[in-house]
Chains A and B, each alone.
Chain A
Amino acid sequence: DVKVTQSSRYLVKRTGEKVFLECVQDMDHENMFWYRQDPGLGLRLIYFSYDVKMKEKGDIPEGYSVSREKKERFSLILESASTNQTSMYLCASSSPSSGTEFSGNTIYFGEGSWLTVV
C-alpha cells in the first residue's frame, strides 16, 4: 500500500527556533512536495523536488528550506520559526496515474504535521 510518513504529527515550537519536518515515502516516487494548508487559503506549495538533491521553489518558499539527500526522504526546514508559520504541513509524493488513459501524476499525501509557533 502507498505510504507517505510524516514523523512529527503535532509540534509546539518557540519563535526563533529551527524546526525540522521529516517525510519518508516508500513508493520509489521521483517527485516530492511540501504544502501548507490554512483555512480559506487551501493548499499552498512551499517547495518541491523532482530528483535527489534537486529542489524548486513553490509559491511560498520564504522562510523555508528543504533537503533531499535520498530519494525516499524530503525534509522541510524552518530556519527561524515565526508565529505566521503556524499551520498544517503536508508532505506528498507523486507518480503517474494508473490505467489505460494518461491522467497526470497522482499525489499521495502524508497524514500532516500540525505546527504551532508560540
Chain B
Amino acid sequence: QKEVEQNSGPLSVPEGAIASLNCTYSDRGSQSFFWYRQYSGKSPELIMSIYSNGDKEDGRFTAQLNKASQYVSLLIRDSQPSDSATYLCAVERGFKTIFGAGTRLFVKA
C-alpha cells in the first residue's frame, strides 16, 4: 500500500463546475496535509495546507481533512480552464513530506 494514494484520473469537468479531488494516507502519525498544483513541464506550487480536521477555504479552493478516515480532499469551485493541471496531495510526517502520484484535472471550456 502506498503511503499517499490518489486516483490518477484524468478527471474531466466542464467550466464553472466543482472539481473534487481526493486523497487517502496510511500513516496515522501524519501531521500536516498539503495540495500542490503542477502544470505540465513546471514544478509543483502550493495551493492549500491544512492541519486540523474540518474545512479550510481560500478563494475558490476548499481543503477538507478527516483524520479518523485518513482522508483529504480538495474542492475547486467555478473551475476554469486555467485550473487544468496535475494536483498532488502531500502528507508531512516529521521532517519528511510524502507526495501522492497526482490526479490530472481537465477543465473543458
Contacts and interface: CB of A to CB of B under 8 A. Distances in A.
Contacts of A112: 42-43
B106 to A, nearest CB: 17
Nearest to B31: A104
Interface string B12-45: 0000000000000000000111101000001111
Nearest to A114: B41
B34 A104 contact: yes
**Range of interface residues on A (Cβ < 8 Å):** 20 to 34
Interface string A90-118: 10001001000111111111111000000
Nearest to B4: A42
A111 B49 contact: no
Contacts of A45: 96-98
23 contacts: A42-B100, A42-B101, A42-B102, A43-B44, A45-B96, A59-B98, A90-B43, A97-B32, A101-B52, A104-B32, A104-B51, A104-B92, A105-B32, A105-B97, A106-B49, A107-B34, A107-B36, A107-B46, A107-B97, A108-B46, A109-B44, A109-B45, A112-B43
Interface of B: 8, 31-34, 36, 42-46, 49-52, 88, 90, 92, 95-102
Interface of A: 31, 33, 35, 40-45, 48, 50, 56, 58-59, 90, 94, 97, 101-112
